[in-house]
Every structure is written in C-alpha cells, then in structure tokens.
Amino acid sequence: MRVSNLFTKTSKNAPADEVAKNAQLLSRAGFIHKEMAGVYTYLPLGKIVIDKIIQIVREEMNAVGGLEMSLTALQAKDTWEASGRWDDKVMDVWFKTKLASGSEVGLAPTHEEPLTKLMKDFIHSYKDLPAYPYQFQIKFRNELRSKSGLMRGREFWMKDLYSFSRDRNEHDAFYEKISKAYEKVYSRFGIGDITYKTFASGGSFSKYSHEFQTLSDVGEDTIYVHEGRRIAINEEVYNDEVLADLDIKKEELVEKKAVEVGNIFTLGTKFSDAFDLKYTDEDGASKPVFMGSYGIGPSRIMGLIAELFSDEKGLVWPENIAPYKVYLVQIGGELSIECADELYEELKKRNIEVLYDDRDVRPGQKFADSELMGIPYRVTVSDRMLADKVYEFVVRSDGQKNLLTHEQLLDKLS
C-alpha cells in the first residue's frame, strides 16, 4: 500500500469530545472514525487490525473444533420471549425497532436464544453432539455509558462460541480445552503475561464463571490477583467462601484494575430447557443438551492494545496485529525514488507487509506519521544513505536505530 493512495489522513487532534486515550490515538492515526458515542467506523488501517485480531481468534477456535457461522443481527421478539430476555427489565441493553408491518424486532446483543432455537433443527441424537458453532458479529448494546472508546461500544465486534454437549462431563472437558485456547489467544496478542483467568459469578449450573482480565489502570473491573497461581478473583465474588474454595489466603492477593477481554460460562440446561432442546441418548432416553457460552471482544482488545502499547509519539502495535510490518520512507530526489520503488516491490514480493510513504511531504512528517500509526519497523531510503549503500532501520518499540545494507535489511525483515 502507498500512503499516497490512503485517503485517510493523520491529525494532530482527536474529536473534541473524545476522552478515551485509545480512541484519541486511533482517531488521530486514521484507524477509526467516531460516528457518535460508542459507535465507530473502522477505516482502512483499523480494518486491517481488527481483521488480524479476528483471524488469531479464529485460528484458535478452529483448533478446538469450532465451526464458524454467521447468525442474524435482526431478532424476532417471540424467540427472546421464550427465555424471558425480551423484557427490558431482564435485558437492559436492547435496541428495539419495528418492521413495516408493525411487529417488533431487536438488534442482537448476544445470541444464546436464536442459536439454541436453531440447533433444534440439527440436534436430535447423541450422534449429533457435541457441537461448537461460533461467529464473529457486530453486537448491539445500548450501554448506559460509553466513554471508553473501542473498549465499551454500543456496537462492537464479539466472538461468541457456544458448546452443545451430551452431559456435564463432556462439557467440563471442553470448558478446560477452550480455557487453554483463550490463554493462547491472549499470548498471541502480547498480553498473556498481564491477563488472568478470573473467578466471577456463575449461574445455576456452576458456582463460578471465568473471565479473562487484563491489567490496566483504565479497567472498569477490580480483581484480586494471585500472581503465583496466575489466577484472580473478581471483586463481585470476593469473599471468605471463595478464598476457602480456592485455598487462598487474603495476604496472597493484590488488588488491581482490569479490563475483561473474554469470558467462559457454563449455561447448563438454562437455554435448552427454555427451548426444549433435547437429544436421544444411546439407550433411547430423551435428555436436555448441556450448554456453555464463550465470548471474546475483538473491538475491546483493539482499544486496550492501543491504550497499553503507546507512548507520547503514538501507537506501538505488536507485530502480529500491526496493519503493516514496515513503514518505508523515501527522502530526496530521483535516485532515492527509484530505489525506494524497487525496495517496495521487493518487500511485497517477499510477502512483507509494507506501507510506502511516497508522498511529496517533509521527512519530519513522514517520520511522525510512521510513529503515530505505530508501524513496528521504519526503513528510510535517502540520497545520502544510498551513496553509502545503506538504509536506516528504526524499531518503533524501543527507538533502536541501525544502518543496514540491502542484504542485512532483508535478513532482519524475513
């Protein structure tokens, strides 16, 4: 991609009413555009990042047997009445609207109900189980406050996987497996070391659910971290009983602010009972399907990473979710243009993702933009350096600067 083709521009200022650092930086760098509070457009650079985040989650969900699908955003009222969650007092984040005919519909805030109902068409016998459908979808929630940029949107990307198992044993085994998959996801995002599997409130079918909480001062949640065991307890369930359950002493815990980046939940037969989702087992007996739900928030993770990995100059993307690996800067006359063009083609040929600043603007602006956008490596081609047959190579995360020959550069980037 050439910067001259990028219609978005960087800016010194974020929208005046934007208070969250992640959204300020992402707006200034041209990754997102604010439509209204909690509602953001993903611009071309931002779209690449959210897609990379989603792809990492997708690979790990596929690895545990997930089958990707895509449910509808428009929801029928009667589907949700079956579980009682159409009621605004029960589900307080609904966006509801009406069809031309007058019948009410809602914009999906989550998908337990429509999916449980749908699975009735496909689950009949023990041979149809287990099943692990999942999706990435924009969820709609009328959140009371939405001042945290991408971290709390009124529409946002969610990965939601649902497990349909024969019994609790089969469920428990999958619950452990996907918990491990979540840990892999967060380490691939570079936040594994500050993310804790956290005991949170459960439902009628298990005492606890688990949240994955990433330490951050801007977090809305308070958790109590046991560093040695790499687990934490959400303040909502923090009491003597939980401490006893987990065999933990108060003194071993440290209070921290954190952001929930995902959660896993044992639903049991709550929804299968509501929708009469049953299967016939080997002995011919009819049994309710045992369910679980597993969420991850790609939008929130993008905001959190922007917030965590940034400095006074701008964003600092981890390499595997950066929109491009290399920011190529061309400075000077004919010769450097020719040489930068060539290097650009060569990097592309080697599948190295490169954003080529071919604009006729001051070098200072090119450098500043590369830093604001947070591209991991900057390579500069200038007339002066070409005389010495070297490129300048700068690492965004630590500012380390080197002069590299053509060969050394390709070595570093491959």
Binding positions for ligand ATP, rule: CB under 6 A: 110, 141, 143, 152-153, 156, 158, 260-263, 295, 297, 299-300
Q: Which is nearer to ligand ATP, 156 or 317 (CB)?
A: 156
Among 3, 2, 6, 9, residue whose Cα is nearest residue 33: 9
d(CA 35, CA 290): 41
Q: Which is nearer to ligand ATP, 48 or 158 (CB)?
A: 158
Q: Which is nearer to ligand ATP, 163 or 370 (CB)?
A: 163
Tally of residues, the chain: 414
Residue with tokens 């999916």, as numbered in its chain: 115
d(CA 119, CA 267): 15
State the nearest-atom distance from the C-beta of 154 to ligand ATP, in Å: 7
State the nearest-atom distance from the C-beta of 183 to ligand ATP, in Å: 15
State the nearest-atom distance from the C-beta of 285 to ligand ATP, in Å: 33
Q: Which is nearer to ligand ATP, 104 or 155 (CB)?
A: 155
Q: Residue 148 is which amino acid?
A: S
Q: Which is nearer to ligand ATP, 9 or 96 (CB)?
A: 96
State the nearest-atom distance from the C-beta of 209 to ligand ATP, in Å: 9
Residue with tokens 């990965």, as numbered in its chain: 159
State the nearest-atom distance from the C-beta of 67 to ligand ATP, in Å: 19
State the nearest-atom distance from the C-beta of 155 to ligand ATP, in Å: 8
CB atoms inside a 10 Å sphere around CB 161: 24
Q: Which is nearer to ligand ATP, 75 or 110 (CB)?
A: 110
Q: What is the DSSP string of 140-192?
A: E---S---SGGGS-SEEEEEEEEEEESSHHHHHHHHHHHHHHHHHHHHHTT-G
Residues whose CB falls within 8 Å of the CB of residue 349, separated by 6 or more in sequence, listed in order: none
State the nearest-atom distance from the C-beta of 129 to ligand ATP, in Å: 24
Q: Which is nearer to ligand ATP, 10 or 163 (CB)?
A: 163
Q: Which is nearer to ligand ATP, 253 or 267 (CB)?
A: 267
State the nearest-atom distance from the C-beta of 137 to ligand ATP, in Å: 11
State the nearest-atom distance from the C-beta of 301 to ligand ATP, in Å: 7
Angle, vertex CA 166, rays to CA 208 and CA 171, nearest 5: 30
Angle, vertex CA 363, rays to CA 360 and CA 365, nearest 5: 85
Residues whose CB falls within 8 Å of the CB of residue 257, separated by 6 or more in sequence, listed in order: 215, 216, 217, 218, 219, 220, 221, 222, 223
Q: Which is nearer to ligand ATP, 263 or 310 (CB)?
A: 263
Q: Residue 220 is which amino acid?
A: E
Alpha helices in 167-253 (DSSP H): 168-188, 240-246
Question: Which is it for strands 231-234 and 195-201: parallel, antiparallel or unpaired?
Answer: parallel
Instruction: Decide: 134 and 54 in contact? Cβ < 8 Å.
Output: no
